[in-house]
Amino acid sequence: MLTTVLAERGGALLPALQPMFPDQQPLDRTWINSWRDPDVVEWVETTDRKKVIIARLWTDICVA
């Protein structure tokens, strides 16, 4: 899952990442903390996975 935070205000996806995932459209979140965004939580729950790998550009903020 690709996400952005308020893309229209400068939180857009890095241009180099989109070609790596051509079939995915980034989900534009309104919360910096992903777990507060209902769409992110719903997506994770629908995967039915026990473990999820999370990578962020700024992990001190975005993985809070």
Q: What is the pLDDT of residues 34-49, one digit of tens each?
A: 888 999 899 889 988 8
Render 10-42 in DSSP notation, one character per residue: TTPPPTTTGGGSTT-PPEEES-SSGGG-HHHHH
Q: 23: domain range?
A: 3-62
pTM of the model: 0.66
- What local confidence, expressed as pLDDT, does residue 20 receive? 92
The total number of structural domains in the chain stands at 1
- What local confidence, expressed as pLDDT, does residue 63 receive? 57
Count the residues in the chain: 64
Q: What is the pLDDT of residues 4-60, one digit of tens each?
A: 888 888 777 888 888 998 998 888 888 878 888 999 899 889 988 888 877 776 655
